[in-house]
Amino acid sequence: MFVLKGVLRAETQEKILIYLLCRESGYASAISGFYGASPNAVQKQLVRLEEDGLLVSRLIGRLREYQLNPRYVFLAPVKELLKAALKLYPAEIQQALLIERSRPRAAGKPLVPAKT
């Protein structure tokens, strides 16, 4: 699903930005795994978005973690645009983006949505 066609260069960029909006940060492998996209395509778009100033990254061990750049001049309007685009996504994708699981949860423990 490519809602922001005409605003962004590629569908992968939209997926990356939506993922980072909902989860606040992420790795290339986690993003590509979530969407079932090519890791190479995701990595190229992450580099491009970082070069454009929309994302920042940091190394954690051997992994590079990406997040939206808090100093980006147009961050607030971009977030509003992404939130509007997210509402057009199917409900199951929205739910999957909001539930962040970093390790197995105990049996019977309720799911807790991530912050948005």
Residue 21: which CATH number?
A: 1.10.10.10
Q: Is residue 109 part of a domain?
A: no
Band the pLDDT of 4: cuts 50, 70, 90. low
**pTM of the complete model:** 0.81
How many structural domains comprise the chain? Answer: 1
Select from 74, 79, 75 the least CA-distant residue to 21: 79
Interval 103-112 mean pLDDT: 71
Q: Is residue 60 part of a domain?
A: yes
Whether 32 and 39 have beta carbons less than 8 Å apart is answered as yes
Q: Is residue 50 part of a domain?
A: yes
Select from 95, 102, 89, 113 the least CA-distant residue to 14: 89
When the pLDDT of each residue in the chain is averaged and rounded to a whole number, the result is: 87
Which residues does 75 contact at the CB level (< 8 Å), separation at least 6? 68, 69
Q: Could you list the residue range(s) of the whole structural domain that residue 81 is in?
A: 11-98
Radius of gyration, CA atoms only, the chain: 14
| Cross-strand partners of 57 | 66
Q: Is residue 105 part of a domain?
A: no
Q: Is residue 113 part of a domain?
A: no
Query: Is it the case that residue 104 has pLDDT exceeding 70?
Result: no
Q: Is residue 71 part of a domain?
A: yes
Q: Is residue 26 part of a domain?
A: yes
Band the pLDDT of 26: cuts 50, 70, 90. very high
